[in-house]
């Protein structure tokens, strides 16, 4: 019995997962989007608390980056809104979200460094998250190719 089957072309994986490293980066950027969304929401709450209760944060002596606690509240509120919206854009795979995410994660590192004496554990944790976000968004070569 003879079979007339045409040779099939080898299947290639989708571009987002073409190599092991880009699969990690693609999954990392999804995780980065979630982290930015959650971090942004936490910063929004932190900002609201700072505006409503200007004695919420620990007082530090003569710190170089001294702002009123209401000012810190507004900084966290505005940054939190921007970070959360950017996290949502990253989850939608928008290229503009990727670029904004890298910029805002860098800005978040600077702001959290300045805020370090007031909330040291959260500031260090937030800076570490931002470093991961920058890596994940910068390493994902497939970003924006599948729906943004």
| pLDDT digits 0-9 by tens, 105-118 | 999 999 999 888 88
pTM (2 d.p.): 0.74
Cα separation, 148 vs 143, in Å, equals: 8
Cα separation, 84 vs 146, in Å, equals: 21
Residue 65 pLDDT > 70: no
Whether the Cβ atoms of residue 40 and residue 80 lie closer than 8 Å to each other: yes
Residue 1 pLDDT > 60: no
Residue 147 pLDDT > 90: no
pLDDT of residue 70: 86
Q: What is the dihedral of CA 144, 100, 50, 123, to 10 degrees?
A: 90
- CA-wise closest residue to 46 among 132, 124, 106, 122: 122
Exposure string over 21-42, b if 16+ CB within 10 A, otherwise e:
ebbebbebbeebbebbbebbeb
Tokens of 29: 């950027």
> What confidence tens digit (pLDDT) does each residue in 3-25 have?
666 666 666 544 443 444 455 55
Cα separation, 148 vs 94, in Å, equals: 4
């Amino acid at each position: 019995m003879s079979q007339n089957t045409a040779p099939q072309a080898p299947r290639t994986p989708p571009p987002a997962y073409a190599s092991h490293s880009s699969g990690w980066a693609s999954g990392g950027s999804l995780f980065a989007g979630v982290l930015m969304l959650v971090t942004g929401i936490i910063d929004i709450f932190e900002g609201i608390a700072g505006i409503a209760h200007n004695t919420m944060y620990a007082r530090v002596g003569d710190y170089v980056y001294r702002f009123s606690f209401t000012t810190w509240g507004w900084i966290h509120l505005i940054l939190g809104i921007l970070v959360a919206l950017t996290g949502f854009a990253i989850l939608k795979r928008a290229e503009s979200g990727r670029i904004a995410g890298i910029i805002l994660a860098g800005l978040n590192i600077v702001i959290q460094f300045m805020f370090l004496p007031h909330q040291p554990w959260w500031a260090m944790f937030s800076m570490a998250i931002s470093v991961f976000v920058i890596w994940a968004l910068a390493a994902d070569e497939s970003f924006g190719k599948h729906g943004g």
